[in-house]
């Protein structure tokens, strides 16, 4: 098993207003994790919104990181979380919804959840794309327990330098991941320990 991750934490100045905002955001994140119900019409609307956001995130990734297209041509599936929100004060939480794409079509919807401990304060959002290179890795994702990053398939997080060196002859790991935002590729942001589970939005 191999995980290559570089971490970077964005910090914010402490203060009463910041603490209050973080508490509200954390509550919203946790509520989102638990709120998977709703009418069938709402489900269709939520799924359509996720698909639109996935389209935009993939377009942004391919535009800023052409080497991602090399992976896309060889990948058996691409799991995209277009808007993952991370918020924390003392303890942190992370949550987002996304979709798996195979042959340009959505085959399932997923959420990503993570928690962390330590002195940290801040709020940030980012996009996260995972390129599954074989069927065994996809099977791990769709297992009853879901996929925990760091347990199971080998996952390599690509920064800008490593992405440029990625070629069809060097693609030997199970999953390659990009963490990106408004300015292109970002550091790994501590994705190890994140839990990915299939959902019905």
Tens digits of per-residue pLDDT, 103-159? Answer: 999 999 999 998 765 545 567 788 999 999 999 999 999 887 888 877 778 888 887
pLDDT digit string, tens, across residues 46-99: 999 999 999 999 999 999 888 888 889 889 999 999 998 877 665 667 889 999
For residues 96 and 85, the answer to whether their CB atoms sit within 8 Å is: yes
* 70's tokens: 């090399």
The parent domain of residue 113 ranges over 3-199
Percentage, residues of the chain above pLDDT 70? 59
For the entire predicted model, the pTM comes to 0.72
Decide if pLDDT at 28 tops 70.
Answer: no
Domain count, the chain: 1
Percent of the chain that is helix, strand, coil (3-state, to 5): 30, 35, 30
């Amino acid at each position: 098993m191999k995980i290559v991750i570089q971490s970077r934490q964005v910090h914010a100045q402490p203060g009463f207003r910041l603490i209050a905002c973080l508490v509200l955001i954390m509550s919203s994140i946790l509520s989102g994790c638990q709120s998977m119900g709703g009418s069938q019409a709402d489900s269709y609307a939520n799924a359509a919104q996720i698909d639109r956001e996935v389209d935009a995130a993939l377009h942004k990734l391919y535009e800023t990181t052409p080497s991602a297209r090399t992976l896309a041509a060889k990948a058996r599936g691409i799991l995209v979380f277009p808007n993952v929100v991370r918020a924390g004060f003392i303890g942190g939480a992370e949550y987002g919804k996304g979709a798996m794409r195979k042959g340009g079509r959505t085959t399932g919807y997923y959420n990503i959840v993570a928690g962390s401990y330590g002195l940290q304060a801040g709020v940030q959002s980012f996009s996260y794309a995972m390129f599954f290179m074989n069927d065994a890795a996809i099977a791990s994702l769709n297992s009853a327990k879901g996929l925990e990053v760091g347990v199971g398939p080998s996952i390599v997080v690509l920064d800008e330098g490593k992405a440029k060196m990625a070629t069809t002859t060097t693609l030997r790991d199970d999953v390659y991941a990009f963490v990106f935002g408004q300015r292109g590729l970002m550091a790994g942001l501590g994705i190890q320990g994140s839990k990915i589970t299939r959902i019905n939005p």
